[in-house]
Structure 1
Amino acid sequence: MWHTAEIVKIFKKITNGYGYEVYQDKKKCVALCNDLLADYSAEKNIMQMLFQAGLGEAMRDVPFKSKSELKMGLSNIDKFLIAQAIESSVRDEVLDVIKQTFALNGAGLEAKSAYQPVISRTFNDIHFKLLLPVIKEFSDRVDASFKFIYKDNQEEIDTVLEKCIITDRFGKEHSSHMDYALLSNGKTKEVTISVPVESRKIYVADAGVEFVFLCSNNKKISVFYHTDSSRKSMLKKVEVCQMTSVEHSRMIDIVNLILKTVDDEQKSEKTTDTDTNNGENEETQTFESYTAYTSSDISEYSDALHKEIFYLKQGKGKKYKIVNGNRLNVSDKGIFTYSFEMETELHLPDDAPVVVETFDGLRAVGSVLACEDFEMILLFR
């Protein structure tokens, strides 16, 4: 979820300072995003990439003075976003920012809907609070664990944890799948929810973490955290809005599914005769079957890696053409992050060493941060 209100204020500030024509200046827009959106890394990276790709040209009709201009303008921008293969959820966020920033009063913005969230930075106005979540990374998943604490409340409210969404610093969303938790009224509970690693690695440093709760009082509550470079989380905001009929039906389905699962597990426990000794033997055999890695294995791997890096430095190895380089970030330690597009589909493992050589003969040694399909993100020191 984007920091929409904050981003809108920043773009209005840009407009007031430079005028609408600034959005036709690609380089200036990229630089302004880098400076003014520094506190919102996901939004900054996406907006920089979009302006670099030509968003300003798609925005040539701003400001929108009427409903018809607004409709046509948003349609053109949406087509541009689709052409850039931007995910639908991110497209919606970008369009919302454009709409709120550049639609003049005459364009007839809709009145605030009952389904729009009420935003707070505390748990004061809801029936529960969460202790700061702990984020743990595994090879196949990321676990988010927290303590759910009901507060004294006159109203009895049951709550369902529907999902967890992690938005990494590149704007890529990763969501849990059917990992629900039923949080009964008045009870405190330790909760762990898993987000599976699917098409690409989940970068949890400098990421947004959202927990979505569906409540029996017909409210949907989203709690947002931000993780720093050490994976520690801090509360950003709490959003409360009315549930839609679809969300209400989903909550009922989730509760029924959880209750059925619990019932099936209880029946299974009653009918299964477990042999404790056999179980212990099986556990021992499984443990003993794990592969043991020795220091010589690690040394051999390290030597092979250094040989590969030296091989690449000599200008050997397979070459691929990369284009449209864009600097995404510079860390305090002087590590540069760049994104590139490729003319051929390529998949490289994370941390694979690479050498980038320009037509001018400049060379830089780096490593792969992410590589998938026609996009590559590299680190240079």
Structure 2
Amino acid sequence: MSLRIRMIERLSEISREAWDAVANPPGAAYDPFLSWNFLEALESSGCAAEDTGWGPKHLLAEDEATGALVGALPLYLKGHSYGEFVFDHGWANAFETAGGQYYPKLLTAIPFTPATGRRVLASHRDVQVALVEAARHVVGEWGLSSWHVLFPEEDAWQALGEAGLLKRCDIQFIWTNRGYGSYDDFLADLSSRKRKALRKERVAACEGLTIEALRGSDLTEHHWDVFFACYQETGARKWGTPYLNREFFALIHERMADDVLLVMARNEAGYIAAALNFIGSHALFGRYWGILEHRDNLHFELCYHRAIDFAIEHRLERVEAGAQGPHKMPRGYRPQAVYSAHYLPDESFADAVDRYLRRERVAIAQEIEDLETEMPFKQDL
């Protein structure tokens, strides 16, 4: 196949059908974050745009003979390192202290979304290689400091390492479904003391409240208005400025309601808290949470326990509840390695970062091993 690689600056320049055919091909696990509906909503709402430091520069690989799209690489020209969940601020400081210009940089990631998934969107190895080489070429052609690929699957991470990118690890806490038929089946895998603690925690969190799990046609604009108020309140406390606007969530409601699970808590006066999840074919992805009226342990109930309930009911393999969170461990979320890959064309800078990453990978592996000893499961698990 003879390939043509070109760049587009808005996902609206390509059809939904063409993009989704390579982003979520038949037979592959469905990833809602890779869909045209999700990524284009970020762009058209202004959340992922040049003005916010997320300039879309997506690469497309097309069959030169037919013009058919055979691969794609989500790509952004980043003016900062916010909303990425893989922290390279120290690298930026070091590079600029030495006289370089770290920003803008190139980034392959799902904006504001620390979920593992496909990143080089092509089934044919030659197309994958061509897209990776094209991204490296852009770095050189534009005189950029770096290209970063965040949260790729492990096989792709290894392949990127073989292509000359530096490999980095971090930790997330992920719940795995061992074929449970109910939440009680899951609790049976825990030690007696931990099992009792979680039952007590759930009862206390829900006292005086009604918990609703909403998706599809059950969702209304009122639900989204309440969720957005919760998101803004909690986002302002955690990050200063929430990343996403109301228009983005309106587009998600319009396009992807069946891919959304919104877990909400209300008392007699109305809703007081909400947690937003996205539903894949194999996983539930917890994304945003907010609360308007403080309630002990309600975060754990809406974000973690209810996510497990849904995953068991719908036979999903795992729950990815986002970044951070050793507090997830007592709720059955185990530490697992997650990955990123980094192309740094400046050889001396790359050598220094590579030495650091080699030590960091060893430390991460040891930390995962140590954390496993603190899990609430019975010793044989």
Give the TM-score band, short-chain normalised: under 0.3
Q: Which has the higher helix share?
A: 2
> TM-score normalised to the size of structure 1?
0.26
> TM-score normalised to the size of structure 2?
0.26
Q: Which has the higher strand share?
A: 1
